[in-house]
Structure 1
């Protein structure tokens, strides 16, 4: 049985706290070279109801949190890592840090054969970056 949807794949859809989704979009453009595909403002004129970005060929959807529509506040992002498999981990890592990402795990050559690092963006979401070890 094929459980793949009409277009297939998996698209992360993240919530951004404190009415900062527009700021997050600009950060993702600087840090990860994101392309903004769509931005839909909410009726309040402050928050974003929906945004769709493309990063490294993949989709990322996001929105501002709407606590008035949920039973409990979501709290800080935890338990999910957004991974970017790239051609040059050093370039992607350095660009993200220069844009304001904080280093969780420094960039290094790993036993599984990737050059790999972990970062946290200013909105609390964790990212990992992996790429080929240089010279291989």
Structure 2
């Protein structure tokens, strides 16, 4: 399946296989491909599609200078057709609420969650007029 044009997030995750399972359950991700590392345990590369967009990820490899520190300073935003439906599915899958979903002053239904791997996700959709 070809990649979409544009900016594609690429996450380093401590437990990429478990993250894939979570993203499937929480965000309806589909797995495009995965490639195991030589150790057969970690993933060297994985490609997911969420809400029509691509997401890449791989495991942490300390032998290449990577350290498993919690991610900070980045939020992945999902602009969806029904924010409440996507929100509920993610919370039921185990996402932690950082900012409860609510009607926001800028005209969106919006909230922010944290996944079990430390990544922040926002979910939003335009308010109906």
Q: How many Å apart are 1:74 and its aligned residue? A: 5.0
Higher Rg:
1
Alpha-carbon distance in 1 for matches of 2:42, 2:6? 28
Which of structure 1's runs of 4+ aligned residues deviate more than 6 A? Answer: none
Residue 63 of structure 1 is aligned with which of 50, 55, 58? Answer: 58
Query: If the length of structure 2 is used for normalisation, what is the TM-score?
Result: 0.94
Residue 33 of structure 1 is aligned with which of 11, 24, 28? Answer: 28
Alpha-carbon distance in 1 for matches of 2:115, 2:67? 20
Query: If the length of structure 1 is used for normalisation, what is the TM-score?
Result: 0.89
Which consecutive residues of structure 1, in runs of 5 or more, have no partner in the other structure? 1-6
- The DSSP-based 3-state class of the residue aligned with 1:92 is helix
Alpha-carbon distance in 2 for matches of 1:27, 1:108? 24
Alpha-carbon distance in 1 for matches of 2:72, 2:110? 20
RMSD (CA atoms): 1.1
- Residues 42-96 of structure 1 show CA distances to partners (whole Å, capped at 9, x for unaligned) of 00011000000000010000000001101x6251101110000000000000000
Q: How many Å apart are 1:8 and its aligned residue? A: 3.2
- What aligned pairs does 1:43-82 form with structure 2 within 5 A after superposition? 43-70=38-65, 73-82=67-76
